[in-house]
Amino acid sequence: MNEADVERFLKDKGLWQGPITLRALKGGYLNEVLSVTTGPARLVFKRFAPETSGTLFPNSPTDEARALERLAGLDVAPRLVGFWADLSLMVYDYVEGRPWQSGTADVARLLLRKEAANAVGFRPVPLDPAGILAEGDALFARCTAPPLGRRPAPCDLPPPSRLSLVHTDLGPGNLIGHGPGLRIIDWQCPAAGDLAEDIYSFLSPAFQILSEHAPLTPAEGAEFWTVFANRPELHARYTVLRPFYAWRMAAYCLWRSETRPEPEIRARYATAFAAELAHMDSHDAD
């Protein structure tokens, strides 16, 4: 979108508050994202690429809009200004700050605030080791290279006591700000699932590497878990599920390392793949 298009749109929707400036934002690997200042207001314009399927991270603008509505007032996500499905365009308040750099306890507290959101109606994701492994197996089947790692043996695990609204892509690039002002952005692939999945996403080396952040240290992992000190059952559940999530994410990274067109992104996925296999086999991770 150019400046004239944005100004015309703002005026048409009653959002124009004065002269505008535009700045392109890093919108992950898929969608077009702009920072738009109009008078004193600062907004984000997000224009979605076509919806995707057959991936761990579908791109659904309708689901993102619904997630932001469910999260309103919880100090978890940006405030939704509007969504225009016919234009594949969403506008929400700009979140001040940089992508997450440090303070794992801040992320844990953010996830606890998120637990107040209602997950009913969002797509289901696997909750048990067998289902998670099956998704990884399907991704490995698309790859030309072998997984080069030990497939974890499935085990029985009852479902969580309640479903959570999970982000599913909780790397540092989708965490903006710090302290109480930390927010989660890019909700285009939410699900009704297990809180352990979002915990895994943040703690996993692959998600950190793909956001161009170093994998977390053991001390940072320990800091994260202090916030859940009164939830030992959650830590235990995460510990059981971690190798299965890691198998699935390793498969995704290998597939992307073979299929992305950009050499530097393929290389990043290859690094994340190797790190995730090592994470899967580690007995003392996090």
DSSP of the chain, one letter per residue? Answer: --HHHHHHHHHHTT---S-EEEEEE--TTT-EEEEEEETTEEEEEEEPPPP--SSSS---HHHHHHHHHHTTTSSSSPPEEEEEGGGTEEEEEPPPSPBP-S-HHHHHHHHHHHTTS--TTSPB---SHHHHHHHHHHHHTT-SS---SPPPPP---PPPSS-EEE-S---GGGEES-GGG-EE---SS-EEE-HHHHHHHHHSHHHHHHTT-PPPPHHHHHHHHHTTTT-HHHHHHHHHHHHHHHHHHHHHHHHHHHH-S-HHHHHHHHHHHHHHHHHHH-SS--
* Superfamily of chain region 3-93: Phosphorylase Kinase; domain 1 (3.30.200.20)
Domain edges within the chain: 3-93, 104-281
Computed from CA positions of residues 16, 18, 20, 26, in that sequence, does the dihedral angle turn out positive or negative? negative
The per-residue pLDDT for range 234-272, each reduced to its tens digit, is: 999 999 999 999 999 999 999 999 999 899 999 999 999
Same-fold call for 3-93 versus 104-281? no
Q: In angstroms, rounded to a whole number, what is the distance separating the alpha carbons of residues 114 and 30?
A: 25
Rounded mean pLDDT of the chain? 92
The per-residue pLDDT for range 95-134, each reduced to its tens digit, is: 999 999 999 999 999 999 999 999 999 999 999 999 999 9
The per-residue pLDDT for range 174-228, each reduced to its tens digit, is: 999 999 999 999 999 999 999 999 999 999 999 999 999 999 999 999 999 999 9
- Give residue 168's pLDDT: 97
- Give residue 285's pLDDT: 56
Is the pTM of the predicted complex or chain greater than 0.85? yes
* Level-2 CATH architecture, domain 104-281: Alpha-Beta Complex (3.90)
Average pLDDT for 62-87: 96
How would residue 27 be classed by pLDDT, with cut points 50, 70 and 90?
low
